[in-house]
């Protein structure tokens, strides 16, 4: 996803992504369904699953603190009353409602956009870690690397090559080290690429 030239609109996109994905983080904290038996006969969580849940837990705390701090900073800058207590989702909704006013201050608008993008990327990364990617055949159209990975549950394909850069000067891959190009499954697949399509279908 690339940012639009309009900063407030771009901030709205990132805040919207965060608003949609943040509740999914709590679901990732549920114990793994596949557990290895311990010497006592009891099921225990695997180390990778535990590490993922710790990462998700840290992400929830980071985003929660970040959203609170961002809303308080925006309200202070706009000279509005101190924000009421609320859930992360409620605070995000209120922040989206303040974007029009914030657009009058380019510095503030850019700060909102940058923070919203950072937190949305962190959230997406945590969800991506929880959903194991599957390697697929084919090369990235931008870098030519065999670094395409599919996330079956989200029906999305990502290029995981950290050096990948596209030809779009406004794309976030040129300014954000954490940005990765992604395609929806239907958008990425070409009717002529039957082997890749079969491999994608086999991950379901």
CB atoms within 10 A of CB 37: 9
As a whole number of angstroms, the distance between CA 67 and CA 204 comes to 35
Residue with tokens 């065999």: 146
Judged against a pLDDT cut of 80, whether residue 121 lies above it is answered with yes
Q: Whole-number mean pLDDT of the chain?
A: 75
What span, in angstroms and rounded, lies between the C-alpha atoms of 157 and 201? 13
**Is 141:194 a contact under the CB 8 Å cutoff?**
no
Selected residue with higher pLDDT from 9 and 68: 68
Q: How far apart are CA 38 and CA 28, in angstroms?
A: 23
The segment with the largest mean pLDDT, out of 31-35, 134-138, 149-153, is 134-138
> Coil, strand or helix: which one is 76?
helix
Q: What is the mean pLDDT of residues 68-90?
A: 94
Task: Tell me if residue 21 falls in helix, strand or coil.
Answer: helix
- pTM of the entire predicted model: 0.53
Predicted local confidence at residue 67, as pLDDT: 96
Catalogue the E-assigned strands of the chain.
Answer: 36-37, 43-44, 134-135, 148-151, 156-159, 182-184
pLDDT band at 17 (very low <50, low <70, confident <90, very high): confident
The CA distance from 43 to 62, in Å, is 30
Per the listing, tokens 């082997």 go with 195
**Residue whose C-alpha is closest to residue 91's, from 121, 66, 114:** 66
């Amino acid at each position: 996803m690339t940012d639009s030239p309009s900063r407030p609109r771009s901030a709205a996109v990132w805040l919207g992504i965060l608003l949609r994905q943040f509740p999914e983080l709590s679901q990732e904290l549920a114990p793994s369904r596949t557990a290895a038996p311990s010497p006592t006969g009891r099921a225990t969580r695997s180390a990778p699953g535990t590490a993922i849940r710790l990462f998700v837990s840290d992400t929830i705390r980071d985003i929660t603190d970040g959203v609170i701090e961002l809303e308080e900073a925006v309200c202070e800058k706009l000279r509005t009353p101190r924000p009421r207590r609320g859930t992360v989702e409620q605070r995000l909704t209120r922040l989206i409602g303040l974007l029009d006013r914030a657009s009058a201050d380019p510095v503030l608008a850019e700060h909102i956009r940058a923070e919203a993008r950072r937190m949305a990327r962190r959230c997406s990364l945590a969800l991506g870690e929880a959903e194991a990617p599957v390697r697929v055949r084919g090369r990235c159209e931008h870098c030519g690397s065999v670094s395409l990975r599919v996330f079956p549950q989200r029906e999305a394909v990502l290029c995981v090559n950290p050096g990948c850069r596209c030809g779009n000067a406004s794309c976030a891959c040129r300014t954000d080290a954490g940005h990765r190009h992604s395609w929806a499954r239907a958008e990425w697949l070409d009717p002529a690429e039957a082997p890749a399509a079969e491999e994608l279908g086999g991950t379901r």
